[in-house]
Every structure is written in structure tokens, then in C-alpha cells.
Amino acid sequence: MREKHKILIVDDEDHFRTALRRFLEKTHIVLEADNGASGLKLAETEEPDLVLLDIGLPDASGLDLLPRFKEIRPSPVVVMITAYDRVKDVVMAIKQGAFDYMVKPVDLDEFEVMIQKALEHAGLKNEVTRLRQEVERLQGVGQLIGKDQSFLEAQMLAIKSAQSRDAGVLIQGETGAGKELFARLIHTKSPRAQYPFVALNCAAFSTEIIESELFGYERGAFTGAKLEGKPGLLEVADGGTLFLDEIVDLNHEIQAKLLRVMEEKEFFPLGGTRKKKVDIRIVSACNRDLWHVAEDGGFRKDLYFRLATIKINLPALRQRREDIMPLARVFMEEFNDKYGKRFRGVNPKAEQLLLSRSWPGNVRELRNSIERVVLLENDDMILARHLHFLDHDQLDKSQSRPEKFDIVLPDGGVAFDEIEKQVILQAREKCGANKSKMARFLRLPRHVLLYRLKKFGIELEVK
């Protein structure tokens, strides 16, 4: 037998509440309040699925109370009630997260349909909550959604690694796979949780900026420096966790300094003459296999071993397709709340599109796609036509592939270094000896390209 829904009526008119209760109590549990204060108290203790909230209450406006009802956890679905059709108030209520509204006197046929839709929406919210709770039961994680075995194993490894205060953790996975979420999970579950979590994307800034951001600087350290100097992220994160995303993009000089920090727990700010002590844990991330880069000379092996005491590999979203729809529903509900929308689900054709896409941008791309639909569309279901902006060339492909080209090898064999050198020489011809352009063309970090240019003795003009 299906469990009855709880419906809370908050209205100061006794006869109106009585009429609604008689209509609803045959199939639902009905609670009543004649003012806002008692309504809020009932909502907190009874956890109703649906609140019917009058805009004009004796002790407060329903519009002012709406955000407070939405803050209650679990959050109920709210339908506003007004004695006359005031468009401005209704629009305001919808923007603040109300599911719908009704005007007195109530048409019972329309009222029944609206209640059904509102409770279906509440059921979706409960399903999302259930999914979250199930994930928490399986892996002790509140924000990471997924049942795929490799994903669960990665989370278990993250939670176990959090027990150490100092062991370096390297998280590897494609862009958008959730590396920073895993880093935050490790920090939250670690003995350092009460101290700061500080993140830096090493690919987002030049070498000079990265160095000043990490180590900070003293007064007058360089032209343009703040007069009072600036503490670096190493100092800001003292006691906590420093997360270095895309660490492969650090140049060798900064890699050497970072290694010294990990070994000696101290560093010099730029322009400084006194060492600063620091007690931090470093969690790093990379969208490639960092060991392969290190073997190729693009990353220090001694630093790699410090960073990768524990290595966690995250699966791409296309490798855990069973998680696509649970994630999509969670994101849909998140953006329903954010934008005051009322999407109740995904229709079969749209679901087929979501499941068949390769998602090269992984969970981040899926989240952004659902946000776009919820923000721009006004239906109650996500439809296939809402997803027209997705690149349908990505359907049924594991990932986007570069333009095909052939390499003809001589029968007698050839040294791999010679092939690599020829590729770089051809890239120079196409890019006009511009190092930055060459690095982008070859999909290499700039410092890795510079290393290989020096290795093969290839001269370029400075650009």
C-alpha cells in the first residue's frame, strides 16, 4: 500500500481550510495552521510533502514566509493561495520557488489536477533525496552521486586516504570528471577538515603569477607588487589542504620549490630572506597520466613519487552510463530550486539522447546542459527538442577524435625520438615558430614543448 502524502494548509479562513481538508483527507494526511508562525512550526516537525500557503496571513505575508518554508529540510513543495488574482504577487512567488498558485474560490477539478502534479513533483524530490541517502550509505559521501563500481571504489579509496594527515594524493581523470569534488571529500574526511581548503588551477596562470600565488611575496619583491606584500596560498592553507589542479602545467623550477616544501615544510616568499614554516597536505590532480609525462621528462619523478603516495583514477562519465540519469535528475532538481522552475522528469526520447551521448566534458558538461534547459525552458518535462544545442556528432562515440593522419615507417625501423623530432619540426612549419601556438597545436603544456625543443636542439625565435 502506497504511503499517504502529508499536506499542510496554512490559511486563516476556517471554512476554507475545512473545505480543503474534507476534499483531501480521504487520500492524504492533512495538517492545518491558521497563521504563519504555527505553519512554520508544523512544517519543521511534521515534514509535509506539500504546503498550501496563503499570501495574506494575519501575522505575515506568505511571500515573506515562502523562503523560510523552502529552507526547511527536507524542503516541501509550496503552492501559493490568493483571494484574488494578483499577477505581481504570483510572479514573485514563482520566482522565489513556489511550484504553482491557486485563486479563491477554488475550482475543485483544477485543484485536483494541480495537487496531483505538485505531489508528483514532491515525489521526484523525495527520489532525489533517496538517491543521495543511498549513495551516502554505500560510500559515506553526500555530494558525489554514482553507483558505478569503479566510481564507488575511487570514493572508498579517497575516504581511506583521508585518514592520513600528510600522504600525497594524486587524482587523475578527464576534465569535468569531478577531481576537485574528490579533493574536497578527502579534506572533509581528514583530520585537517577544520582548517582551510585552498585550490589553485596551475593551468590558468603564467609561471610568474603561479609562483607569486603559491609562495607569496614580500614588500617590493617585484614591479607592481603590493606595498604590504601578499601571503601565498601555501601560507593561507596552513594546517589544511592545498589542492593543485592540472599540476602537470607547473614548470620545473616551481616543481623543485614545491618538492622542497613537501620535504622540509618551509619556504621563502618571493623577495624574502626569512623562511616560513607551513604544515599542509597537498592533493594534486591531472587530466593525463602524470607518470607517463614524468617518464618523458616533462615532470620531475621525485616530485611525482611525493605527490602520488596514493593515486586515484576517476572514470569518465561515458564509462558509467548507469549514473547519467540519476545525476541528471539531481541537477534538474537543483536548478528547479535555483530558478523557481517545476520540471518533473525527463521524457523517454530526451533520456535516450542523454544516455547515448559520449559526454566529452563529463559530469560538468551534463550539469551545464541540464542548467541550460531548466533556465531557458518552461515545460514540466525535459524534452528531446530542449537538447538541440548538444553536438549530436558526439552520440555513440567514446570521445571526440582528432583528424586522422598516417605515419609511414621505414621497413628497417626508426628511433621514436626521430619521429617526435619530425612532428615538432612540422608543427613549427604550420605555426610559424610561435612557441605558444605550437604548444596548443600539439596539445602539450608549454614547458614540455620547451623541454623537447631543447632536447632536439631545435631553435625558435622567442614569441
Q: Concatenate the DSSP letters of all residues of 84-143 into one string.
A: S--HHHHHHHHHTT--EEEESSPPHHHHHHHHHHHHHHHHHHHHHHHHHHHHHHHHS-SS
Cα 275 to Cα 186, 196, 210, 267, 307: the distances in Å are: 29, 21, 19, 5, 22
Amino acid at 239: G
Residue 444 identity: L
> Which three-class secondary structure state does DSSP give residue 369?
helix
Residue 287 · residue 178 · CB < 8 Å: no
pLDDT at 51: 95
Rounded Cα distance between 182 and 187, Å, is: 9
Place of cell 587524482: 171
pLDDT-derived band at 401 (thresholds 50, 70, 90) equals very low
Question: What kind and span of H or E run contains 65?
Answer: helix 62-71
Can you name the CATH fold of 405-463? Answer: Arc Repressor Mutant, subunit A (1.10.10)
Q: How confident is the model at residue 101 (pLDDT cuts 50, 70, 90)?
A: confident
Element (H, E) at 418: helix 416-431
Kindly state the cell numbers that stand for 214.
Answer: 603559491
> In this structure, is the dihedral angle defined by the CA atoms of residues 260, 262, 267 and 270, taken in order, positive or negative?
positive
pLDDT, tens digit, for every residue of 105-126? 888 888 999 998 898 888 776 6
430: pLDDT strictly greater than 70: yes
Q: Is the pLDDT of residue 406 over 60?
A: yes
- Biggest CA pair distance of the chain: 96
Domain range list for the chain = 6-134, 149-314, 318-394, 405-463
Q: Look up residue 339 and give its three cell numbers.
A: 530558478
pLDDT classification of 200: cutoffs 50, 70, 90: very high
Least Cα distance to 237 among 263, 208, 267 occurs for 267
Query: Is the pLDDT score of 1 beyond 60?
Result: no
User: Which candidate, 341, 312, 371, 367, places its Cα nearest to that of 154?
Assistant: 312
The torsion angle over the Cα atoms of residues 69, 326, 355 and 344, rounded to 10 degrees, is -30
CATH topology (fold) of 149-314: Rossmann fold (3.40.50)
Residue 340 has pLDDT above 60, yes or no: yes
Q: Read off the pLDDT band of 207 (50, 70, 90).
A: confident
What is the identity of the amino acid at 170?
A: L
How much is the average pLDDT of 214-237?
A: 76
Q: Is residue 57 very low, low, confident or very high in pLDDT (cuts 50, 70, 90)? A: very high
Residue range 182-205: mean pLDDT, rounded: 90
* CATH, domain range 318-394: 1.10.8.60
Mean pLDDT on 96-101:
84
- The residues, any chain, with a CB within 8 Å of residue 342's CB and separated by 6 or more, are 99, 100, 117, 121, 336, 380
Q: Do domains 6-134 and 318-394 have the same CATH topology?
A: no
Give the lowest-confidence range in 1-10, 132-141, 427-436: 132-141
The pLDDT mean for the chain works out to 85
In the prediction, which pLDDT does 242 show? 96
Q: What's residue 399's pLDDT? A: 41
For residue 362, is pLDDT > 60? yes
- As given in the structure block, the three cell numbers for residue 349 are 526520447
Instruction: Quickly state the pLDDT bin for 13 (edges 50, 70, 90).
Output: very high
Q: State pTM to two decimals.
A: 0.58
Question: Which run of H or of E encompasses 380?
Answer: none
**6-134, which class in CATH?**
alpha beta
Question: Is the pLDDT at 2 greater than 60, yes or no?
Answer: no
Q: What is the pLDDT of residue 413?
A: 82
Choose among 241, 230, 335: nearest CA to 279.
Answer: 241
Q: What is the pLDDT of residue 309?
A: 95
Asked if the model's pLDDT at residue 137 lies above 60, the reply is no
